[in-house]
Structure formats: C-alpha cells, structure tokens
Amino acid sequence: MGKLTVPHGPCAVLRALLKWSFPTRSLVHRNVLVWVPCLWGSMLLPLLRILLVGIAVAGCATNPYTHRHQLELVPASQEQAMGLQAYTQVLHDPKVQISHDPREVEPVERVAARIIEAAKVSMYAETAKQFEWQVSVIKDDKTQNAFALPGGKIAVYTGIFSVAQNEAGLAAILGHEVTHALARHGGERMSQGLVAQGAVVAATLGAASQGINPQIAQLAGGALAHYGFILPYSRNHESEADYIGLLLAADAGYDPHEALHVWERMEQMSQSQPPQFLSTHPSHGTRITQIEQWMPEAMSHYHPRPGTTAADLPRLSTVH
C-alpha cells in the first residue's frame, strides 16, 4: 500500500492510437469511453498518425518516482523562461508587498534551503542542480498559498503560516510545490492541452465527414477531453506532488507526520469543495488517506538531523 501508483498517461494512449487498423474504434481511458470518428481512407489519418508518431517518440518521459508516463512537448528551457517571467510579474505587482521581516523570512528560507538540498540528492538531482533557485516571502496574511515555478522560483504567502503552523508543516507544503516544478507538471499540463485541442479538432473534422453536426461533436469532444483527460491528470499531478513532496520533506529531516496535520487543518478551514470528479485537486479526505498509506515509506526516509527544527511559525495578525 506504500508507493503511489497511477495509470499510464497520455503516452500510452497515443501508442494505442498508433496501433489502430480499423475504420472505427473506441478507446476506454480512465473509465471514459472516447469515440473517435472514422478517418480511414481520408487524408486526415496519415497526418494524424505522423503527428502521433512524433509525439510518442519525442514527447514522452517517465517519472522516476512513480514510473508514470508523462507527455512533454514543451522544452524545459521554454518552461523555465515562462516560470521566470511569471515570477517577475508577481514580485513587481504594485499590490504585492515583499516581506523583509526576519521572523517571517528566515524560517521560510531555512526550510526552502533544506528542501532544495534534499532535491539535489533526489531522483531529480540533475534538474534541481540546474535550477536557479530563488525564495521570496509575500506579506499577505489573507492568502493561504505558496508556489514553486519552473526554474526554482519559490514564493510563500504569510497566510499559509496558519495552515503550516511550524517549520515541519511548511516543509510538507514546500516539498509539494517544489515537486510540481521538478516533475515538470506545468509543461505537462500545457502538452496535454495541446493534444486535447488537436483531438477535438480531429473529432470535429471526422464528424463533419460522417454528416454529424460539427458543433455537437466539438462540444462533446471538448467535454470528454476536459473531464476525462485534463482534470484526472491534474489530480494525478497533485497526488504525485503530495507523494514525492512527502519524501523530500522526510529527506530534509522533517517529520512526515506533519503533512497529515497540514491537510487536516486545511480540511477544517475549507468551507466547500466541488465534487472530486469535477475538481483539479483530490479531496482533502483522499489526500489524508493517501498520505497515511505512504507514511511507512516516508518514515524510512526520515532521519532527524542536528540543527533541523520544527519551530513554530509567526502568528498572523489577521485571524481567518
């Protein structure tokens, strides 16, 4: 029950598509029946096959922790450039106040440094060493958020302190966010969007050739792509970040049990959530259950180190 297991990703679907040899086929992916119009005998099928071959050969990678196939059509350099641009825009937003209070900045920098250190000896060591890491603390007690962008650009809003409560809790959060950047989840989402758009276009053209209203096919194809492909894989990204982030925090010397407390507090603070099948994130209850299952493996990574503390974070001036 320990290691995270996720279904094969879009690369497996693409490989299955490449094997088609009949005019009409249906494909079941994540319990969603996807109807693909007949393209046999038309100019669309050869072009589509060429496109899929290129994607399957050049755009597929494997996550070193979960062995999940990942679709990577966006170059890492472009992804990191976009991350830097987004980070710069956030920090230069006139509404954003950068904290220089040592009580807020020092614990964040200390936890981030240890997570980064753990990342540099993890299965993502090569990527972590290439990132130009930067950490900023944003003074906003009402925003419970933190993020890490491609290239290693980290921002922590002071509002997340009430959820993390201590440095071990913050390590669980930053381990999660740093994993998104290391695992290239942002670029994968963009790649999935490109494939989903292409599939909807192909379905629309195929439907038109069969006398089906293209608008109906486009709406149906778009819904299937969104709920059966994009959202589930976004949930996979979140679970993957929870799992690997838990291991990174443990490798950094922080007790992984604190991750459970973080999500328990998050669940208590959340007023409402959409149904899980309509959400890009797993439910809080699902996350807590998964973390409990991964805990034995995380504890095998946990070795407290001298100087690694779980000191409380600053109290917020605004109570939510």
Active site residue: 79, 177, 188, 238, which one? 177
Q: List all residues 6 or more positions away from 58 whose beta carbon is below 8 Å from its beta carbon.
A: none
Q: From start to end of 107-195, where are the E strands? A: 134-138, 146-149, 153-157
Report the candidate in 285, 286, 294 with the shortest Cα–Cα distance to residue 256: 294
Q: Give residue 19's pLDDT.
A: 47
Segments of the chain scoring below 70 in pLDDT: 1-59, 194-233, 271-280, 306-310, 316-320
Tens-place pLDDT, residues 217-240: 555 555 555 555 556 558 889 999
Whole-structure pTM value:
0.74
Q: Please check whether residue 204 is in contact with residue 225, taking contact to mean a CB–CB distance below 8 angstroms.
A: no
Q: Is 131 helix (H, G, I), strand (E, B) or coil?
A: coil
Q: Is 294 helix (H, G, I), strand (E, B) or coil?
A: helix
Q: Give residue 30's pLDDT.
A: 38
Q: Give residue 307's pLDDT.
A: 59
Catalytic residue list contains 297? no
Q: List all residues 6 or more positions away from 154 whose beta carbon is below 8 Å from its beta carbon.
A: 112, 133, 134, 135, 136, 146, 147, 148, 174, 177, 178
Q: From start to end of 22-175, where are the E strands? A: 25-29, 32-36, 60-62, 69-71, 134-138, 146-149, 153-157
